[in-house]
Amino acid sequence: MGFIPVNEPLLNGNEKKYLCECIDTGWISSEGPFVKEFEQKMSHSVNRKFGVAVANGTAALEVAVQALEIGKDDEVIMPTFTIISCAMAVTKVGAKPVLVDSDKNTWNMNIDEIESKITSKTKAIMVVHLYGLPVEIDKVLEIAKKYNLKVIEDAAEMHGQTYLGKPCGSFGDISIFSFYPNKHITTGEGGMIVTDDEELTEKCKSIRNLCFKKDVRYVHDEISDNYRFTNLQAAVGLAQLERIDEFVKIKRNMGTYYTERLKDVKGIKLPITKTNYAENIYWVYGIVLDESITLDNREIQKKFAEEGIGTRTFFWCMHEQPVYIKMGFFRNEKYPNAEYLARKGFYIPSGLALTDEQRKRVVESVKKVMKEIA
Ligand SMILES: *Cc1c(COP(=O)(O)O)cnc(C)c1O
C-alpha cells in the first residue's frame, strides 16, 4: 500500500496539448497568446471585466495592495487565521495588518469584529474565504461602504464557489486567485487579480512588469518587481478552466463521501456542509479535534503518517508568527477561536486525483487513529 499524498492535481485534460502548442510555436514567455486568453476566460468566469495573471497568489495580493496605494502606516483589517501571504502583502508596503478572530463553525473571519477595529488609518478590509465556505460578504461590503474602505477579496481557495449564487472573486474592488496545485485550478504556480476597474487593471499590469514608464522602455518612476506569468502556465490554466464545473462536482462528492462516513467518529468536528448563503466546495477536507482530545494536530499528523496518510495542519495565526512578534506587531493580542483552529485543525487527502480506493483507506485510517486516541 502506497503513501496517499494530501493533494494530487488532475492534469488529464487538454494540458499536454496546449503545452505542446507552446513548444511548437516557441511562445513560452509572458508575451505568449495564451496569457491574455486565460486572463479573459478566468475573469469572465467570475463575472469580472479584467484579469491580470501573475506569478502566484502571493504576488497577486502584493500587486493588489500596491495598486490600491496602501502604504506606510495605513491599516488593513484581515483574519488572524489565514496564510501569511495576506499579512506579508500589507507589511511589505509598511502598512499594518489589524486582525479579527475566526468564526468557530465556518472557520472564516468573524465579521462581527470588523467594525470595532476600524480607525482613521483603516484603508481596506482583506476578506479571505477559507477552506470551502465563503465569508458572509454582503455584510462586509456594507461596512466597507459605510466607512469608505476598499475591499480586497482573497478567493484563492474559492474557484467555482458562489455566495448567494454570485461567484466568489466578483465582490472585491480587487479580488485575487491562486493557481497553486492544491487549488481547484492549477498552473503549477500562478495567480490572478480580477477587477472591473480599468484604471486599477492598468496599474496592476504596470506593477506586474517592473513599472516601466509608459512609452519609454527602461525608464521607471516606481519600485516594483517581476511578477509575470508565462504562456506555459496559461496553457495549463486554460485546460484546467475548461473543467471547473467537473472539478467542483468531484470536490463536493469527496466532501459528501467523507462526511457520511466520518460523522459518527468521536473526538472530531467535520466541516459544515452548507450555510444559508453557500454550499461547501471543500477546497480541502478539514477536521478539527474537539475538546475531548488532548493531542494537538501535529501529534495527530504523525499518527496518520505512520498509516501512510498525508495530512496537513491548518494555518498558523498571524498574531503568533515569530516574524511579526519580533517586529513588535500584535503584542498581547489574543484570538481564542483562531488559536484553537491552528492547534487542533488539520486536513486529510482531498486532491482532485484522489481515487475511490484511496479515500476508502483514508476513512479507515481516520476511524482507527481516532479510536486509538479517544
Ligand atoms: C494559496 C493561498 C494564497 C497564496 O497563493 P500562492 O499561489 O501559494 O502564493 C493566498 N491566500 C490563500 C487564502 C491561499 O489559500
One-letter-per-residue 3-state SS of the chain = CCCECCCCCCCCCCHHHHHHHHHHHCCCCCCCHHHHHHHHHHHHHCCCCEEEEECCHHHHHHHHHHHCCCCCCCEEEEECCCCHHHHHHHHCCCCEEEEECECCCCCCECHHHCHHHCCCCEEEEEEECECCECCCHHHHHHHHHHHCCEEEEECCCCCCCEECCEECCCCCCEEEEECCCCCCCCCCCCEEEEECCHHHHHHHHHHHECCEECCEEEEECCCCCECCCCHHHHHHHHHHHCCHHHHHHHHHHHHHHHHHHHCCCCCEECCCCECCCCECCCCCEEEEECCCCCCCHHHHHHHHHHCCECCEECCCCHHHCHHHHHCCCCCCCCCHHHHHHHHHEEEECCCCCCCHHHHHHHHHHHHHHHHHHC
CA of 156 to the centre of ligand 1 (A): 5
132 in ligand 1 pocket by Cβ < 6 Å? no
How would you class 198 by CB atoms within 10 Å of its CB: exposed for 0-12, middle for 13-18, buried for 19 or more?
exposed
Mean pLDDT computed over 11-40? 98
pLDDT at 254 over 80: yes
- What pLDDT sits at residue 217? 87
58 in ligand 1 pocket by Cβ < 6 Å? yes
Q: Which residues pair with 155 in a beta bridge?
A: none
* Percent with pLDDT over 90 in the chain: 97
Quickly state the pLDDT bin for 1 (edges 50, 70, 90): confident
Q: Which three cell numbers stand for residue 267?
A: 473526538
- What pLDDT sits at residue 213? 83
> Is the CB of residue 250 less than 8 Å from the CB of residue 257?
no
CA of 249 to the centre of ligand 1 (A): 22
Tens-digit pLDDT profile for residues 195-241: 999 999 999 999 999 998 888 889 998 889 999 999 999 999 999 99
Q: Are strands 50-54 and 166-167 parallel, antiparallel or unpaired?
A: unpaired
Q: What are the Cα distances from residue 142, in Å, to 46, 48, 147, 325?
A: 21, 20, 9, 32
> Is the CB of residue 130 less than 8 Å from the CB of residue 108?
yes
- What pLDDT sits at residue 160? 97
How would you class 356 by CB atoms within 10 Å of its CB: exposed for 0-12, middle for 13-18, buried for 19 or more?
exposed
Query: Following CA atoms 358, 347, 238, 207 in sequence, which dihedral angle do they give, to the nearest 10 degrees?
Result: -160
CA of 92 to the centre of ligand 1 (A): 16
Q: Is the dihedral of CA 262, 267, 271, 274 positive or negative?
A: positive
Q: Whose CA is nearest to atom 4 of ligand 1?
A: 57
154 in ligand 1 pocket by Cβ < 6 Å? yes
Backbone φ and ψ of 351, nearest 5°? -75, 165
Residue that is written with C-alpha cell 449564487 in the block: 165
Q: Which three cell numbers stand for residue 243?
A: 473543467
- What pLDDT sits at residue 215? 84
Tens-digit pLDDT profile for residues 280-329: 999 999 999 999 999 999 999 999 999 999 999 999 999 999 999 999 99
Q: How far apart are CA 140 and CA 167, in angstroms?
A: 16
Average pLDDT in the chain:
97
- What pLDDT sits at residue 231? 98
- What pLDDT sits at residue 113? 98
- What pLDDT sits at residue 214? 82
Q: In a mutational test of the pocket of ligand 1, which residue from 7, 58, 61 has the highest number of ligand atoms less than 8 Å from its CB?
A: 58
CA of 157 to the centre of ligand 1 (A): 7
Mean pLDDT computed over 5-28? 98
Q: Which of 77, 78, 72, 69 is nearest to 92 (CA)?
A: 72
Q: How far apart are CA 64 and CA 90, in angstroms?
A: 10
Q: Are strands 191-195 and 166-167 parallel, antiparallel or unpaired?
A: unpaired
56 in ligand 1 pocket by Cβ < 6 Å? yes
